[in-house]
Amino acid sequence: MEELVKPIVQAFLVCDSVILDSFTRKKSIIGTFTHLWAPRFPCQHPQMGVYFCLTDAEGQYEFELRLVYLDQDQLIGTASLPSVDIKDRLQIHDFGVNIPALV
């Protein structure tokens, strides 16, 4: 089995949600943020969206996002995307995924 080309990330945004327009196939990135704030922990965040854009990829890929609390090496949430077959390394591919409630 051939080793997959490691894609280059062109964009990576964290937001409240990513919405896919079923007609245009465009993605709307709603409520970007860089920090989560809460008066006390643990807390529950209702949903988190992640948008990312890749280039220089070729082959069959399976993407999984893992949200990890690094101080404790604790897995907080995961999201997977359906397998995608990328034919042309020059094409740009973008993806949006929503991760349900996080504690």
What is the tens place of the pLDDT at every residue in 58-87? 999 999 999 888 888 988 888 899 999 999
Choice among 1-10, 35-44, 69-78 with the minimum mean pLDDT: 35-44
What is the tally of structural domains in the chain? 1
- Cα(72)–Cα(21) distance, integer angstroms: 38
The verdict on residue 96 lying in a domain is no
Q: Percent of the chain scored above 90 by pLDDT?
A: 64
The verdict on residue 103 lying in a domain is no
- Owning domain of residue 70: 8-89
> What do you get for the CA distance between the two ends of the chain, in Å?
39
- pLDDT at position 1 is 55
The verdict on residue 3 lying in a domain is no
The verdict on residue 49 lying in a domain is yes
SS3 6: coil
